Homo-oligomer: A and B are copies of this chain.
Amino acid sequence: MQPMRFTSETITDGVSERPFTLGNVPGVLWSPAEAVAPSRALVLLAHGGGQHKKAPAMQGRARRLAVACGFAAAAIDAPGSGDRPRSEEDERFIAELREKMAAGEPVGPHVARYNAAQAERAVPEWRAILDALRAQPGLDGPVGFWGLSMGSATGVPLAAAEPRIAAAVFGLAGHETLGEAAAQVTIPVEFLLQWDDELIPRESGLGLFDAFASREKSLHANPGRHGDVPMFEVESSLRFFGRHLGADGAPGDGG
């Protein structure tokens, strides 16, 4: 196993933030700054397309997981995102995406194909990251996964392949490219769907929710477009992880 290198630590509002690298993959580990718990749950955060490991949506979720649940959270730059170089394939995808958007063509299938190809690189990376994180002191508790859109394109096959992941929040993705992997997922899933998603047809999102083999799965659908997931769903996912990864249930007095 390659060594995980931590480069610094910043503590803000009781949360420790530690950038790291594993090989050529840069990431960030957030955790409560107080004394290390004997066994802390860890949530893997996979960003969406065009985002990166320290995007506000990632930071916000990571900090809430640390403060409200006492959990650690980790994010990495996906292949071709954030601080990582773009491959020819990445460049071609972006150029074609811009052309299609300029021409007013639907981009959903184009994005789904790229995300599926991207997952073939990203899934083994996440498994190596998980190996290295679990070797850190105090990070041997249960593991969760959170990722929407491109994060789900990676996360669904990751959860199908990786028995250490015990609960996952997915969403903004369709069954065409992910249905087969979803049928192998049996862990509790909270699944987000945007009722007016311009990238994922409603039936495709409903079909992916239907495909999960999980005994416990909850579909949360809200009005709005792909990027309009309401803020209250952040808190809902905290409670979901609290229920499934926590020693004493959900944060606050949620059940």
Residues of A in contact with B (beta carbons under 8 Å apart): 68, 193, 195, 206, 209-210, 214-223, 230-232, 234-236, 239, 243, 250-255
* B223 close to A217 (CB less than 8 A): yes
Q: Specify the chain B residue showing the minimal Cβ separation from A240.
A: B232
Measured CA separation A217–B193 after assembly (Å):
12
* B255 close to A231 (CB less than 8 A): yes
* Residues of chain B with a CB closer than 8 A to A217's CB: 222-223
* Residues of chain B with a CB closer than 8 A to A206's CB: 206
Q: Contacts A195-B210, A218-B221, A221-B221 known; A235 to B230 CB distance under 8 Å?
A: no
Measured CA separation A235–B219 after assembly (Å):
16
Interchain CB contact (< 8 A) of A235 among B210, B221, B254? B254
Measured CA separation A234–B239 after assembly (Å):
13
* B232 close to A223 (CB less than 8 A): no
* B235 close to A250 (CB less than 8 A): yes
Q: Contacts A210-B195, A255-B234 known; A219 to B216 CB distance under 8 Å?
A: no
* B218 close to A220 (CB less than 8 A): yes
Q: Specify the chain B residue showing the minimal Cβ separation from A215.
A: B223
A-B contact pairs, 30 of them (CB 8 A): A68-B253, A193-B219, A195-B210, A195-B219, A206-B206, A214-B223, A215-B223, A217-B223, A218-B221, A218-B222, A218-B230, A219-B219, A219-B220, A219-B222, A220-B220, A231-B255, A232-B239, A232-B243, A232-B254, A234-B255, A235-B239, A235-B250, A235-B253, A235-B254, A236-B239, A239-B254, A251-B252, A251-B254, A252-B253, A254-B254
